[in-house]
Every structure is written in structure tokens, then in C-alpha cells.
Structure 1
Amino acid sequence: MNTIALSQTSLTPLKCKSSLSSSSVLKARKSSTTTTTKCINNNYNKMSSTAKEEDITLVIEQQNQKSLSSSSLQSKFARAAVGASLALSLALSPTSAALAANGLPDEEVKVLCDAECVKSLDSIEMVTTPSGLQYKDIIVGDGEMPPIGFQVVADYVAMNEKGLIFDNSVEKGKPNDIRLTGDPESATVIVGLDEGLLSMRSGGLRRLYIPGDLAFPKGLASAPGRPKIPPNSPVMFDVKLLYIPGLD
């Protein structure tokens, strides 16, 4: 009950008629008392009802304020989330965002055989040598074929059997000088690469499928950006014979 509302409520005076007879006076007094009591009760009930309504109104207002505060807080969180998302999208350059969406690396790696070239490999005949080396000529060179003991200048991209690159002279921007021996014991590079270059002509591009026994007998340790090559595991080389010093 609201005591403030109760103290501010005025009671309307009751008017009761009297009679000269004592019995009438007694009845009148009883009637007046009863009427007064009823009036007081009625006024009290009205004031109680008013106080309860005010209390209910106050509770409703408080709940509305809490609801508004909660909605305002949720709105702030929503705006913050949108802002964070926008900041993240702006932080990525359009190129980086597009590449990330397609699961591609941020920078394009330079290779000798791109995606279109890889597709064309299906239609190129596979050649297998007596040692177990296999290769496909993507481009047949029109230059000289290197004699044993000669040095050649070549670019190559070395990959594991899953196609992950572990060495790339094209990306480094520096071709390799390789002396070809034709001898597994004295080869300056892995045996499969030495053999594969010996049967190429300058200007040619070839993919070598090198079996484990012609690759890395001790394997290669992993490094940042380079996968591990287990001992005697097969590898692939895309190799381009640029020229043969002294002949080209």
C-alpha cells in the first residue's frame, strides 16, 4: 500500500439525521456508527485500490525501463559486431580477400607448369626408362642435347608426390648450373634429375616422375614453407633446359 497516497486522500464528512426519541436517537447512533464504518471502509478500500494501482503502474514502468536498457545494450553489441566485421573486411585487400575465399595462397607462386599445363599432362605420353625414371615432354626443345660431362643451365620446380613444392629456382630468380655425369656415384644432383636432363634438348620443358631410389636416399628435413621429404620417397621435377654453355 502506498502510504503517501493514503495520507493525501481527504475523507468526505458523513451527514446523519437525528430524532427526538431516545430509541430513535439510539437507532440513529447505531445507524450512524454503521454508516460511518461503511464509509470509512469504502474510503479505505478506494484508497487501497488506488495505492495498488499506483504500485502496479510503478512496477510496469520499472520493467519497461529495464526492457529499454536491455534493448539498448543489445543494440550496442550488435553495432559493435557489425563494426568489427567491417574492420576485418577492410583490413584484407580485395586481392587477399578473394584469394582467401577460394582457398588460394595470398601470393601467386611462379612455376614452370601452371594449371592449364597440368591439365595438358593427361594427353601427353609417358616415357619410362630402364632405371624406372618416368617423364612427359611438355615442350620438346629444338637445341642441342648435352654430352656427358658438360654443364647445363636449367630451371626446376621440385615437388613431393602430392605436388607440394620444396625447391623452386624460378621463384628464387636464379637458374641452376648443373654438371651432368651420367653416373649415379658421381652425380652432382639426384640421380633421376641427372638422367632426365641428359636426354633433353635445350629449350625443352619436361616433367620428371622420379622414384624413391633415384631421389633422396636420406630424405630432406622440413623447413618454413617446405614440406618434409622422407628417405627414398618419390618426387616430381618440372625442369626446363635453358641452354648448354659452349654449345648454345
Structure 2
Amino acid sequence: MASASLLPLGLFSGNLFGNNRITEGRSRRVTAQYLSLGVKSKGSQIVGYEDGSALVSRRVVIGLALSVSTLLFHSPNAESAGLPPQEIPRLCDDSCEKELENVPMVTTESGLQYKDIKVGSGPSPPVGYQVAANYVAMVPSGQVFDSSLEKRQVYIFRVGSGQVVKGLDEGILSMKVGGKRRLYVPGSSAFPKGLTSAPGRPRVAPSSPVIFDVSLEYIPGLDDEE
């Protein structure tokens, strides 16, 4: 089956705390509102009432602070922002990157540029045929914004029919099954309106050039005939 989408999920951002502030009095006690919750306690936790608000001791405040910090450490946004970046699977590893430095660049009339990581030995896809491919999509800095390898599912689409960006269509049409290629797609053949990224991934600016590492895995139907 085809991958659900070539595009990443939308980015969510929000202000967790807003402009709320905690203030201290001379006795280092904080006014806890929302008495309607009906919180009751013994001993020194609730020390009195003042103007319809409960005054709580520092011990309670510290407990509340620890609870908030626990929520922060377990929230998805905190994990995506604070944890070390996960290792992203690639079609071209470090040794491949070094070899690519010596591979000649091919430039087409549309402005698409590419380097063959590996030349395939199978057939090339005719226009309109479905192809099964793996891809890693990157911004010019090399940061990944989408990848079929992470989804663990090949991406199946009809090549040459406008189902993917123009540069990817053009680049795959001249590949052979079993081949791997790095495509340098100009902005005019990429995402004219740009793309919002998944959390922790770079955003693609409108008409920004992008890079695709792509491997042509097989051509459904055509491979079966041969």
C-alpha cells in the first residue's frame, strides 16, 4: 500500500503558562484561589482564609511546583524540544556522502540537478506507471523534514502524473529499478507554498530548494511481466 502522505504533519505551538505570575507576601505564603474545589486538609497545610482565598504553606507550594515540573517532563512538546535528537535513517550514510563529492552533477533543462548514488540495473518507469520508492526529504542544510524510511513503508505513486512535486517526478523517470539518486530540486519544482513541519523538524519555506535521496525499489506490474 502507498504511504499515507508525502507531507509531514502540521506544527503545533502554544504558550503553556501565559502571563500568570506567583507573588510572595512577607510570610512567604501564596494565595491559592479556586476554593470551589473544596480542598480540605489537616495540620499546617491550610493556615487560614483571607478575602475568600486559601493561604497555603511553602510545603504545599513546593508540592505543586514538583507536580508541574513532572507534567513538563512528560509532555510531548517538552520531549521533542528537550531530548537529544533521534537518529534518523538515511539512504546515504557518511561513506556515501564522501563518495558523492566525486560524483559528477547532472543538470537538466528544468534546473533539476542530481547525482547517482547507485545506478540501477532494472527497467526505467514509463510515464503513468506506478512506482514503489523510498525517499528521504531534506532542506538545503541537510535536515530531514519527511522520510518513508521512518514510516517503514515504501511510497507508491503514479510517476509523471503530478502526484508528487515536479522535481521528484522528473528525477525518478530517468532512474532504473535498484538505483539510488540524490535530487537537488529547485524551488520552482518543489513546494511553491512551502510546508509546515512535524514537531522537531525544519519548515520548508515557500519556493525553497529541497533535496531528495530516493531509491527506486520496484515497478508494480512491469517487474512482474519480466
Same fold, TM-score > 0.5, yes or no:
yes
* Percentage of matched positions with identical amino acids: 60
Letter matched to residue 121 of structure 1:
L
State the Cα deviation string for residues 49-95 of structure 1 (Å, max 9, x = none). xxxxxxxxxxxxxxxxxxxxxxxxxxxxxxxxxxxxxxxxxxxxxxx
Shift of 1:144: 0.6
178, 186, 191: which one aligns with 1:211 = 186
Which residue of structure 2 lines up, in the alignment, with residue 174 of structure 1? 153
CA distance in 2, matches of 1:143, 1:228: 35
Q: How does 1:144-223 map to 2 (within 5 A)?
A: 144-181=123-160, 186-223=161-198
2:120 aligned with 1:120, yes or no?
no
Give the 3-state SS of the residue equivalent to 2:181 in structure 1: strand
The structure whose RCO (Cα within 8 Å, separation 6+) is larger is 2
Shift of 1:131: 0.4
Give the 3-state SS of the residue equivalent to 1:178 in structure 2: strand
223, 226, 230: which one aligns with 2:205 = 230
Letter matched to residue 217 of structure 2:
L
Question: Where does structure 1 lack aligned partners over 5 or more consecutive residues?
Answer: 1-103
Give the 3-state SS of the residue equivalent to 2:222 in structure 1: coil
CA distance in 2, matches of 1:125, 1:106: 32
Q: Which has the higher helix share?
A: 1
Shift of 1:109: 1.7
CA distance in 1, matches of 2:133, 2:197: 24
CA distance in 1, matches of 2:220, 2:197: 34
TM superposition score normalised by structure 2: 0.60
CA distance in 1, matches of 2:159, 2:145: 22
Letter matched to residue 170 of structure 2:
E
Letter matched to residue 117 of structure 1:
C
Question: Where does structure 2 lack aligned partners over 5 or more consecutive residues?
Answer: 1-82
Q: Provide the aligned length of Structure 1 versus Structure 2.
A: 141
Which residue of structure 2 lines up, in the alignment, with residue 142 of structure 1? 121
Shift of 1:226: 1.7
CA distance in 1, matches of 2:178, 2:117: 11
Shift of 1:106: 5.5
Shift of 1:107: 3.7
State the Cα deviation string for residues 168-227 of structure 1 (Å, max 9, x = none). 10111011001012xxxx510000000000000000000000000000010001330221
State the Cα deviation string for residues 27-67 of structure 1 (Å, max 9, x = none). xxxxxxxxxxxxxxxxxxxxxxxxxxxxxxxxxxxxxxxxx
TM superposition score normalised by structure 1: 0.55
Contact 1:159 1:236 in 2 (8 A): yes
CA distance in 1, matches of 2:87, 2:140: 21
Contact 1:111 1:171 in 2 (8 A): no
Give the number of the structure whose alpha-carbon radius of gyration is greater.
1
Q: How does 1:97-116 map to 2 (within 5 A)?
A: 105=84, 107-116=86-95
Letter matched to residue 126 of structure 2:
P
Which residue of structure 2 lines up, in the alignment, with residue 54 of structure 1? none
CA distance in 1, matches of 2:126, 2:204: 31
CA distance in 2, matches of 1:237, 1:179: 17
Runs (4 or more) in structure 1 with deviation over 2 Å come to: 104-108
Which residue of structure 2 lines up, in the alignment, with residue 132 of structure 1? 111
Give the 3-state SS of the residue equivalent to 1:123 in structure 2: coil
Letter matched to residue 103 of structure 2:
I
The CA RMSD measured in Å over matched residues stands at: 1.4
Q: 1:229 to 1:128 in 2, by over 3 A?
A: same
